[in-house]
Amino acid sequence: MTVIRIAAALIEDSAGRLLLVRKTGTRFFMQAGGKIELGETPAAALVRELDEEIGLTIAEDALRPVGRFSAAAANEPGHQVDATVFHLCVDHDPVPAAEIAEAIWVDVDSVEAMPIAPLLREHILPCWRDEAGRGVTICDGSR
């Protein structure tokens, strides 16, 4: 199985919504982010990808590490993603660019009904919900 190293962002706004993207020609929604290029750190790759994909310019110190997870690649059969995930709080009007067909803010309760990537369903949502369940406040600097 081919492993693809990526950096991904769990982006939350002040209303507690999550930002998801869908690539052109695909049906699954996922976090913004992408492949880590040779010589790049995961954080640097994510900063680059967020700018390229949704027009979001941020500094690396705005990213809070969440963890590293593996899951089946949503859009590449026979591949697995090895994802370094960061949390980011921002109110941003995404501008889909590059390979992104759609970028939407969704209420966390409606995410499960959507076609979402295995990484989001199996790892990122449970991690996010665990933090919320422990009373970690959304996007106030304590996360």
Query: pLDDT tens-digit profile of 88-139?
Result: 999 989 999 989 999 999 988 899 899 999 999 999 999 888 876 665 555 6
Q: What pLDDT is stored for residue 108 in this prediction?
A: 80
CA neighbours within 13 Å on the CB side: how many for 92?
22
d(CA 68, CA 77): 21
User: What letter represents residue 65's amino acid?
Assistant: P
Answer whether 46's CB lies under 8 Å from 95's CB: no
Cα–Cα distances (Å) from 27 to 101, 115, 116, in that order, read 10, 7, 8
Q: What is the tens place of the pLDDT at every residue in 61-84?
A: 999 999 999 999 998 999 999 999
CB 79 within 8 Å of CB 102? no
Overall pTM surpassing 0.85 (yes/no):
yes
Q: CA separation (Å) from 119 to 6, 21, 114? A: 11, 13, 14
| Domains of the chain, start order | 2-133 (3.90.79.10)
**How far is residue 115's CA from residue 10's CA, in Å, rounded to a whole number?**
17
- In this predicted structure, what is the pLDDT of residue 129? 82
Euclidean distance between CA atoms 70 and 13, whole angstroms: 25
